[in-house]
């Protein structure tokens, strides 16, 4: 079964279930019909017995009661489908209808004992030639004394014939109905699984590298429609992810190739002819600087990779963010000293957030370093920390080269750097803002950017305040 198609399995399961239903239906129909026919026969016998008893009450009891007198009052007794017998109190036949004169149908012990007890009895008997009869024995009493026993009977041959015809009809109709249902199930299963086939074909084309493929299905909210919609959404996300991976690979190659090219070129130049020790020292210092840059890129890539895999564990404790803010402000003074860039705190409020002290420090330092790096010489970087509602609001604003609006959504991508940024600060890695975004998100916060070209950039971070302990 595991190697058969879903269509075949659905058809087989459907056919098996239908066959079981048809079998149960046929058995139930036969039993109900059989019981209904038997009840109809019993009701007819009961009615005939009631009329016969009423007729007997109008005549004298005893051996002188003749059939012709009864048949005039009760014509049903003369019909071929019924017969009657009248037994004496000892169980001997006294009168019986002419249509069973050739057969001897004695009174059974069961019917006789029931008659003595004043109870009527229904019986079914079968003769050696296969003739089935239905018998009703009714006691006739005067006071407490049993006078006669009336028996009315009829042949069950019409009932058996009707039941046999019903069985033949069921034997013929059930396989035909099952076959037609299997054909219909096969057809409907094929129609229902047609979108699945489309999904399979699209998946094969996608495997070949065509990520633009989508499943074209009618808009519906059934299971197949939901599967197709989910598949299309998944392919859309995968397409975006693969584009990002290709862009990431290209950017990473570019970022690593530059220091490698510089290192190789300077080394080859130094080895072309003998040089003084000072020249070699300059080359080695330059190579060391480029190696440090590559090491920083690799370290940041490793950090982001571990972050994506969830391997970086944070130690969440209440952090006095304003104290941390002042420490970063002091470090920023050192970062901007070479280019005379001042970092000032415009506003600061006491703030406590739940977070990892080291990661929050790295977040603030990356944002401040980024602001200093892309500011012009002699400009000012402004820092602010305030409480806004139930969140801490961190503002880092510079007045540097700025970022064009169409690039705002990409500045947090790994290795993404605008041409202006590369020309202004060649030593950047393009990973700092990606790390900042991850730190903010793991602290359940958000980060926003407002910037214009040559108008500076303003990064705003919102972090939830620490819940007070009770």
CATH assignment of the domain containing 54: 3.30.450.20
Residue 201 in domain: no
Residues 149 and 236 in one domain: no
Per-residue pLDDT at 293: 74
Residue 469 pLDDT grade (very low, low, confident, very high; cuts 50, 70, 90): very low
Per-residue pLDDT at 312: 77
Give the range of the structural domain holding residue 250, as residue numbers without chain letter: 223-308
Residue 12 in domain: yes
Say how many domains are in the chain. 3
The 10s digit of each residue's pLDDT in 161-182 is: 898 898 898 888 888 888 888 8
The contacts of residue 370 (CB under 8 Å, 6+ apart) are: 396, 432, 433, 459
Per-residue pLDDT at 470: 41
Residues 13 and 158 in one domain: yes
Per-residue pLDDT at 426: 54
Q: Return d(Cα 80, Cα 77) in angstroms, integer.
A: 8
User: Is pLDDT of 314 > 70?
Assistant: yes
Residues 283 and 362 in one domain: no
The 10s digit of each residue's pLDDT in 448-460 is: 999 888 888 999 9
Residues 234 and 280 in one domain: yes
Q: Which of 263, 286, 308 is the last residue of a domain?
A: 308
Q: What CATH code is carried by the domain that includes residue 276?
A: 1.10.287.130
What distances in angstroms separate CA 68 from CA 56, 149, 178, one per listed residue? 12, 19, 56
Q: Which of 112, 144, 162 is the last residue of a domain?
A: 162
Residues 352 and 441 in one domain: yes
How large is the average pLDDT for residues 32-51? 88
Q: What CATH code is carried by the domain that includes residue 450?
A: 3.30.565.10
Strand order in the sheet with 132-142: 93-96, 82-87, 145-155, 132-142, 121-126
How large is the average pLDDT for residues 313-321? 87
In eight-state DSSP terms, residue 466 is P
Terminal C-alpha separation, the chain? 62
Residue 204 in domain: no
Residue 287 in domain: yes
Tokens of 390: 């139930």
Residue 137 in domain: yes
Residues 392 and 454 in one domain: yes
Q: Which of 257, 279, 308 is the last residue of a domain?
A: 308
Residues 341 and 423 in one domain: yes
Residue 37 in domain: yes
Residues 49 and 87 in one domain: yes
Q: Return d(Cα 330, Cα 368) in angstroms, integer.
A: 11
Residues 34 and 140 in one domain: yes
Q: What is the DSSP string of 327-365?
A: HHHHHHHHHTTTTT-EEEEEEE---EEEE-HHHHHHHHH
User: Is pLDDT of 51 > 60?
Assistant: yes
Residues 286 and 147 in one domain: no
Closest CA to 248 of 207, 299, 304, 309: 304
How large is the average pLDDT for residues 232-240? 78
Residue 212 in domain: no
Residue 244 pLDDT grade (very low, low, confident, very high; cuts 50, 70, 90): low
Continuous segment of H or E residues that includes residue 291: helix 277-308
Residues 303 and 321 in one domain: no
Residues 386 and 404 in one domain: yes
Residue 16 in domain: yes
């Amino acid at each position: 079964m595991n190697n058969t198609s879903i269509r075949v399995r659905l058809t087989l399961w459907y056919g098996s279930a239908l066959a079981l239903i048809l079998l149960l239906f046929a058995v139930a129909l036969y039993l109900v019909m059989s019981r209904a026919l038997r009840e109809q026969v019993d009701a007819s016998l009961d009615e005939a017995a009631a009329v016969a008893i009423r007729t007997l009450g109008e005549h004298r009891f005893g051996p002188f009661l003749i059939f012709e007198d009864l048949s005039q009052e009760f014509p049903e007794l003369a019909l071929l489908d019924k017969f009657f017998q009248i037994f004496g109190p000892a169980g001997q036949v006294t009168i019986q209808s002419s249509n069973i004169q050739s057969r001897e149908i004695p009174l059974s012990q069961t019917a006789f004992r029931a008659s003595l007890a004043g109870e009527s009895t229904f019986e079914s008997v079968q003769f050696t030639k296969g003739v089935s009869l239905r018998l009703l024995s009714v006691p006739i009493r005067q006071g407490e004394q049993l006078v006669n026993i009336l028996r009315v009977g009829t042949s069950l041959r019409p009932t058996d014939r009707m039941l046999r015809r019903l069985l033949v009809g069921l034997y013929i109709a059930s396989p035909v109905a099952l076959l037609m249902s299997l054909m219909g199930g096969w057809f409907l299963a094929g129609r229902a699984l047609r979108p699945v086939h489309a999904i399979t074909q699209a998946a094969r084309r996608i495997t070949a590298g065509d990520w633009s493929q989508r499943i074209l299905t009618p808009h519906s909210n059934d299971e197949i429609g939901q599967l197709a919609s989910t598949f299309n959404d998944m392919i859309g996300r995968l397409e975006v992810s693969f584009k990002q991976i290709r862009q990431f690979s290209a950017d990473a190659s570019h970022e690593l190739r530059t220091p490698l090219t510089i290192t190789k070129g300077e080394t080859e130049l130094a080895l072309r002819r003998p040089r003084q020790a000072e020249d070699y020292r300059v080359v080695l210092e330059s190579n060391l600087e480029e190696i440090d840059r590559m090491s920083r890129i690799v370290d940041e890539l490793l950090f982001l990779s571990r972050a994506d895999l969830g391997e970086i564990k944070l130690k969440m404790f209440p952090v006095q963010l304003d104290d941390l803010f002042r420490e970063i402000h002091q470090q920023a003074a050192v970062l901007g000293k070479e280019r005379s860039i001042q970092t000032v705190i415009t506003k600061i409020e006491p703030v406590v957030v739940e977070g990892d002290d080291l990661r929050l420090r790295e977040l603030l330092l990356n944002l401040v370093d980024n602001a200093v790096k892309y500011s012009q010489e002699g400009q000012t970087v402004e820092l602010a920390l305030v409480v806004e509602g139930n969140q801490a609001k961190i503002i880092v604003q510079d007045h540097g080269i700025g970022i064009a609006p169409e690039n705002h959504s990409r500045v947090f991508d790994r290795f993404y750097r605008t041409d202006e940024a590369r020309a202004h600060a060649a030593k950047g890695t393009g990973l700092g803002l990606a790390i900042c975004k991850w730190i903010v998100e793991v602290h359940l916060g958000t980060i926003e950017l407002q910037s214009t070209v040559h108008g500076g950039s303003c990064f705003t971070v919102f972090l939830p305040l620490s819940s007070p302990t009770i």
